[in-house]
């Protein structure tokens, strides 16, 4: 058996419709579609990618946000999209992650894993951190040197430049997957990471003509892989999985949390070089404090702001819920992680989910993610082929950490290091059961909808209490 995984960055499940994504819609109808698949918190790509690859949540693998402060490593914020920054997290010759990755586990069991990425260089490393030492294939659209880049250049020519939408690069990456990786290398597991529709959602909104082109590009990628699979003599034994790492809400209020804190008299900045409170921007900004005694006062001020949602903390205190509740507590985690108070209502174009954000390069009206809104946490997860059940909606709860354990299970392997569980509901009707649902009171009028299954809690949606 072989497996091909396609990750469509940022794709909301409700945007998978026959008129815009016919191939993926048909695949979801013919295979096993998970109705309750979720991201992790924070719902950011470079928390999601290592959560996928390690089968563990951020509190275990240690990449706690897209941008975070690690004083034992650097006096500045670590920005994980950059190779130089992500390299700071790794010991010499080692991985930046604190749990083994899927590629390492497969290699230890004599199996192969290949990655093709149209995302950021840092995310590619998080997906396959030990590719170099293992002699495995990892190619990213930003690569210009190394064996993988030379091989792709020789076979297919130069990588197209980045753009918005990022369609030429995504189309090129899909060709690298089918024409180089699948045709020539035939790995046991292959993963294609497509940066659309995320790029277009951020910079062209959820509903622009360019975004429709991006959705068509993502669907075309799925179709290209399915066409390749169906032409193989062992097509019946090749499983295709399509997933997304998070969703999006429409960003309707843009502000700088650091600037707002400064205006209120707190010494906040993006680094401790410029203030006593370091703030990492995003849809779930993190705050680190030079003086721990200031945490409570700042939390009280944040909690009084109409744009502030539920607060979480590495070390909980009155007014902030524990990050451990979400599987996100780690020594590197922020002293406070805040969410924005979003709404379940529609944006100007009728798409459910709006909220505030702290993102200097994303325009108002653009898509944003990172928090606990229902539309940020909901993800696509579809499986088809081989022993996967046909034409079913799986009731089991799932998140990104359950995918790699399911891949390993299909190959007859296990990984004790992974906290996620194989989602056997996709394989056997008798294993498919709905999760228990609950509400967690987060205070200040906010509640967290949850699912609980197999001893794990799956955050579903942060909302205002009715």
Domain containing residue 276: CATH number: 3.30.1360
pLDDT for 273 beyond 90:
no
Inside any domain, residue 369: no
| Same domain flag for 260 and 279 | yes
| Same domain flag for 325 and 235 | no
Please list the residues that pair with 317 across neighbouring strands.
320
> With contact defined as beta carbons under 8 Å apart, do 253 and 366 qualify?
no
pLDDT of residue 329: 98
Inside any domain, residue 397: yes
Domain containing residue 198: CATH number: 3.40.720.10
What percent of the chain has a predicted confidence (pLDDT) above 90? 96
Structure tokens that stand for 159 in this block: 């990588």
| Same domain flag for 258 and 223 | no
| Same domain flag for 32 and 128 | yes
* Residue with token string 């995320």: 198
Report cis status (omega within 30 of 0) of the bond before 197.
yes
CA distances to 194, 377, 401, 421, 453 from 398, rounded to whole Å, are 21, 11, 8, 9, 9
Q: Are strands 446-453 and 249-254 parallel, antiparallel or unpaired?
A: unpaired
pLDDT of residue 245: 99
Inside any domain, residue 371: no
pLDDT for 285 beyond 90:
yes
Q: State mean pLDDT over 227-235.
A: 98
| Same domain flag for 459 and 382 | no
| Same domain flag for 189 and 324 | no
| Same domain flag for 417 and 446 | no
Cα–Cα nearest to 451, from 378, 382, 381: 378
pLDDT for 35 beyond 90:
yes
Radius of gyration of the chain (CA): 21
pLDDT tens-digit map of 298-330: 999 999 999 999 999 999 899 999 999 999 999
| Same domain flag for 24 and 56 | yes
Inside any domain, residue 264: yes
pLDDT for 76 beyond 90:
no
Q: State mean pLDDT over 431-445.
A: 98
Inside any domain, residue 455: yes
pLDDT tens-digit map of 356-384: 999 989 999 999 999 999 999 999 999 99
Inside any domain, residue 257: yes
| Same domain flag for 145 and 224 | yes
Inside any domain, residue 57: yes
Q: State mean pLDDT over 420-433.
A: 98
pLDDT for 206 beyond 90:
yes
- CA 205-210-214 angle, 5° bins: 95
- Written in H, E and C, the secondary structure of the chain is CEEEEEEECCCCHHHCCCCCCHHHHHHHHHCEEECCEECCCCCCHHHHHHHHHHCCCHHHHCCCCCEEECCCCCCCEEECCCHHHHHCCCCCCCCCCCCCCHHHHHHHCCCCEEEEECCCHHHHHHHCCCHHHHCCEEEECCCCCCHHHHHHHHHHCCCCCCCCCCHHHHHHHHHHHHHHHHHHHCCCEEEEEECCCHHHHHHHCCCCHHHHHHHHHHHHHHHHHHHHHHCCCCHHHEEEEEECCCCCEEEEEECCHHHHHHHCCCCEECCCCCCCEEEECECCCEEEECCHHHHHHHHHHHHCCCCEEEEEECCCECCEEEHHHHCCCCCCCCCEEEEECCEEEECCCCCEEEEEEECCCCCCCCEECCCCCHHHHECCEEEECCCCCCCEEECCCEEHHHHHHHHHHHCCCCCCCCCCCCCHHHCCHHHCCCCEEEEEEEECCEEEEEEEECCEEEEEEEEECC
Inside any domain, residue 39: yes
Mean pLDDT for all residues in the chain: 97
Domain that holds residue 259: 251-364+439-464
Q: State mean pLDDT over 124-145.
A: 98
pTM: 0.97
- CA 139-186-24 angle, 5° bins: 75
| Same domain flag for 79 and 200 | yes
pLDDT of residue 414: 95
Q: State mean pLDDT over 447-461.
A: 98
pLDDT for 72 beyond 90:
no
Read off the pLDDT band of 75 (50, 70, 90): confident
| 74 vs 66: CA distance, rounded Å | 15
pLDDT for 127 beyond 90:
yes
Structure tokens that stand for 106 in this block: 């497969």
The total domain count for the chain is 2
Structure tokens that stand for 91 in this block: 């010991």
| Same domain flag for 318 and 273 | yes
Q: State mean pLDDT over 402-423.
A: 98
Structure tokens that stand for 168 in this block: 């030429």
Better-scored residue on pLDDT, 73 or 237: 237
| Same domain flag for 240 and 262 | no
Read off the pLDDT band of 417 (50, 70, 90): very high
Q: State mean pLDDT over 249-276.
A: 95
- Sign of the alpha-carbon dihedral angle for 94, 84, 314, 436: negative
């Amino acid at each position: 058996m072989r497996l091909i995984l396609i990750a469509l960055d940022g794709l909301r499940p409700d945007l998978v419709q026959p008129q815009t994504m016919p191939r993926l819609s048909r695949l979801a109808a013919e295979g096993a579609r998970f109705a309750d698949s979720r991201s992790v918190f924070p719902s950011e790509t470079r928390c999601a990618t290592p959560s996928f690859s390690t089968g563990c949540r951020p509190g275990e693998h240690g990449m706690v946000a897209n941008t975070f402060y690690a004083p034992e490593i650097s006096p500045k914020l670590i920005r994980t999209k950059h190779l130089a920054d992500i390299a700071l997290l790794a010991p010499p010759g080692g991985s930046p992650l604190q749990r083994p990755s899927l590629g390492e586990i497969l290699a230890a069991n004599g199996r192969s894993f290949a990655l093709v990425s149209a995302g950021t260089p840092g995310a590619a490393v998080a997906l396959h951190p030990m590719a170099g030492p293992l002699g495995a294939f990892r190619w990213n659209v930003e690569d210009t040197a190394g064996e993988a880049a030379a091989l792709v250049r020789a076979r297919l020519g130069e990588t197209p430049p980045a753009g918005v939408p990022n369609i030429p690069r995504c189309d090129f990456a899909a060709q690298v997957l089918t024409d180089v990786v699948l045709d020539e290398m035939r790995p046991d597991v292959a993963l294609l990471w497509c940066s659309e529709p995320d790029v277009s959602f951020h910079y062209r909104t959820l509903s622009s003509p360019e975004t429709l082109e991006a959705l068509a590009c993502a669907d075309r990628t799925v179709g290209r892989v399915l066409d390749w699979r169906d032409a193989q003599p062992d097509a019946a034994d090749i499983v295709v999985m399509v997933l997304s790492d998070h969703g999006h809400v429409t960003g309707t209020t843009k502000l700088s949390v650091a600037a707002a804190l400064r205006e209120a008299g707190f010494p906040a900045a993006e680094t401790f070089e410029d203030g006593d409170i370091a703030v990492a921007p995003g849809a779930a900004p993190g705050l680190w404090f030079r003086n721990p005694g200031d945490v409570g006062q700042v939390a009280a001020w944040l909690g009084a702001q109409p744009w502030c949602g539920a607060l979480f903390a590495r070390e909980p205190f009155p007014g902030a819920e524990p990050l451990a509740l979400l599987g996100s507590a780690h020594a590197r985690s922020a002293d406070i992680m805040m969410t924005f108070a979003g709404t379940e209502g529609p944006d100007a174009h009728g798409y459910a989910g709006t909220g505030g954000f702290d993102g200097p390069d994303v325009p108002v009206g653009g898509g944003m993610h990172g928090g606990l809104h229902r539309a940020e946490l909901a993800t696509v997860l579809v499986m088809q082929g081989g022993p996967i059940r046909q034409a079913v909606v799986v009731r089991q709860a799932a998140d990104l950490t359950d995918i790699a354990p399911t891949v390993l299970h299909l190959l007859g392997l296990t990984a004790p290091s992974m906290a996620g569980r194989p989602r056997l509901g996709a394989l056997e009707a008798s294993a498919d059961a709905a999760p228990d649902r609950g509400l967690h009171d987060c205070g200040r009028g906010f509640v967290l909808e949850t699912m609980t299954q197999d001893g794990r809690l799956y955050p579903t949606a942060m909302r205002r209490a009715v």
